[in-house]
Amino acid sequence: MISVSIVGGSGYGGGELLRLLLGHSQVEVKQVTSRSHLGEYVYQVHPNLRKRTQLKFTDPAHLEPVDVLFLALPHGQAQKKIDEYAAQAPQIIDLSADFRLRDAALYEKWYGVSHAAPAWLGKFIYGLPELHRSEIREGRYISGVGCNATASNLALLPLVQAGLIDLSAPVISEIKVGSSESGAEGNAGSLHAERANVIRTFSAFGHRHTAEVIQETGIQDVSLTMTAVDLVRGALATVHAKVKPGTANKDLWKAYRAAANENPFIRVVKEQRGIYRVPEPKIVAGSNYADIGFELDESNGHVVSICAIDNLMKGAAGTAVQCLNLMKGWDEMTGLDFPGLHPA
């Protein structure tokens, strides 16, 4: 049994992380901090945790040493105090965007501000086990993953690993996202009257998560187009690319099957009957699974690769716990075995 604490536990990502850690057989949650909800029971902010814990939000200034520290702060905050946090725990998993990019210049390009702790960027490992499993096992500092980047990266994973993409053509990732992606702090666009029933493209290109896709896939000519849809949880990446001449359906099956065999949370969904023939976010809601599927037009090499995830799970907290399991040498699926609901 190890001790963990969460710094910044009042947001959706922090709440989802706490839900997972409270149910984890190898973990004791020591503290959950929040300045804005100081002294409140955590279940008063995360109502699904009533009767699961009597923890109260504590002051981040009174953080105590633990084995592993999770940071679930708004983007830009963890980097300002990373030295303080590192003094409290030998291992850190940061869910924010602060340590995802390896290059400080790239961080400034995509986030519009200079990084406050550039020397730390090289110490962090990008926390997507499907791409960095062996490094995470040996790691001390693990970054979070962007939910939209994760949906895109996992849709591309089989194609990239098998070397099937024709890189002379652009890669387009069209992503539909639920409202929980925008966090627990509201804005005018998240009012029910404005957010309900939408299919709203809010970022045609240039979304920050694009940097993670470029960094992790090595594909330079890739664009992410973000569309808000009427979901609470879920992200669906529909990736369009060209495959190399001569690539057949059977080659893609081989690549996708290999990805699923190598990664316990990846499932291939490409059904010929029934209702759920392609990946759908509602089927993975609450679970750490990433469902991937594809269709190939063999006549012109156009491939459509699809990935469905729960943005708060595989796109954030679930992947963070998966990293914890790897760092500690536990079964990768410990505490993450919930398969989702049907119907949902």
Partner 1 sequence: MNTVSCPECEAEITLDASTEVGEIIVCSDCGVDLEVTGLDPAEVNLAPMEQEDWGE
Tell me the catalytic residues.
Answer: 147
268 or 304, CB closer to partner 1? 268
From the CB of 280, what's the least distance to partner 1, in Å?
14
Instruction: State the angle between helix axes of 147-161 and 129-137 in degrees (0 to 180), rounded to the nearest 10.
Output: 90
Q: Which of 41, 111, 253, 338 contacts partner 1 by CB under 8 A?
A: 253
d(CA 226, CA 175): 5
Tokens of 239: 């990736």
Q: Which of 35, 109, 200, 257 contacts partner 1 by CB under 8 A?
A: 257
199 binds partner 1 (CB under 8 A): no
Token pair 């020591």 is found at 30
2 binds partner 1 (CB under 8 A): no
d(CA 245, CA 300): 8
126 or 256, CB closer to partner 1? 256
**Cα 6 from chain centroid (whole Å):** 17
From the CB of 305, what's the least distance to partner 1, in Å?
15
Q: Taking CB under 8 A as the rule, which mask of x and - marks residues 263-282 in contact with partner 1?
A: -----x-xxxx---x-----
254 binds partner 1 (CB under 8 A): yes
d(CA 185, CA 282): 23
Q: Which of 26, 203, 215, 249 contacts partner 1 by CB under 8 A?
A: 249
Residues 57-86 that bind partner 1 (CB under 8 A): none
The count of other CB atoms within 10 Å of the CB of residue 256 is: 23
Region near partner 1 per CB under 8 A, out of 92-100, 152-160, 245-253, 283-291: 245-253
Q: What one-character-per-residue DSSP string does 194-233 give?
A: HHTT-EEEEESS--TTHHHHHHHH--SSEEEEEEEES-SS
Judge whether 94 and 71 are in contact, CB under 8 Å. Answer: yes
Can you give the binding site for partner 1, defined by CB under 8 A?
249-250, 253-254, 257, 268, 270-273, 277
